[in-house]
Amino acid sequence: MRLVLVGPPGAGKGTQAQFIASNLSIPKISTGDIFRANVSGGTELGKLAKEYMDRGDLVPDEVTIAMVRDRLSENDAQDGFLLDGFPRNVPQAEILKKMLEEFGAGLDIVLELVVDDEEVVRRLAGRRTCSQCGRIWHVDFDDKKDDICDACGGRLYQRDDDQEETIRHRLEVYQEQTAPLVSFYAHEGILVGVDATGPVEEVTQRAMESLSPFAD
């Protein structure tokens, strides 16, 4: 199965990507992993990407696309894959479509993790990080009443990334970028939405159920 996973920050996309890919016995291919592999492997594309990153610039689309193409050409991806972090926008989706056509394949499904904005804010804004050991606690899920780490006694604080304002901004950016992408795939007839609220295992189970009609 050739699958793309999309979802807002705080939807648990990384975790779901891992579980779903392993349930389907297909490789999980994330742009983060591809970047790291190219940079640490010292490939030409990796060196190029590193030049941009070292300057603090965004890696251009062409470089990312070339890395994705290389990765999708590898043996383990021939019978299916789960893409996480690519495509990010409609132009990338169109390029992916052409790329897969060259390989004689197409996407089977685009799975969208659907979470209410307020739920994302509750999940992320409730996170507290230990200033000593780095462990993350949650005010609701861990029932944290004080701001002391139960593991090491260190003081807990709220990271800038976990501030409500930052989260709402990230959600807006996500909506702007992803809404057209989601419409693109809905139009292609391969979009499936999964309710991503609730415990991780339940979300995985719902995702697997909604994928089962498309499994070989």
The residue within the footprint of Zn ion, chosen from 53, 152, 173, 179 (CB under 5 A), is 152
Query: Judged by CB under 5 A, does residue 136 bind Zn ion?
Result: no
CA distance 110 to 21: 13
The residue within the footprint of Zn ion, chosen from 33, 154, 197, 210 (CB under 5 A), is 154
Stretch that binds Zn ion, among 59-67, 121-129, 150-158, 162-170 (CB under 5 A): 150-158
Query: Judged by CB under 5 A, does residue 156 bind Zn ion?
Result: no
Task: Indicate if the alpha-carbon torsion angle 13, 24, 202, 107 is positive or negative.
Answer: positive
Stretch that binds Zn ion, among 71-79, 102-110, 135-143, 190-198 (CB under 5 A): 135-143
The residue within the footprint of Zn ion, chosen from 1, 49, 96, 149 (CB under 5 A), is 149
**Are the C-beta atoms of residues 29 and 4 closer than 8 Å to each other?**
no
Query: Judged by CB under 5 A, does residue 151 bind Zn ion?
Result: yes
Stretch that binds Zn ion, among 60-68, 112-120, 126-134, 192-200 (CB under 5 A): 126-134
Query: Judged by CB under 5 A, does residue 130 bind Zn ion?
Result: yes
CB atoms within 10 A of CB 140: 9
Nearest distance, CB of residue 125 and Zn ion, angstroms? 20
Site string for Zn ion, 21-60 (x = CB under 5 A): ----------------------------------------
Catalytic amino acids? 13, 88, 127, 159, 170
Name the residues that contact Zn ion, by CB under 5 A.
130, 132-133, 135, 149, 151-152, 154
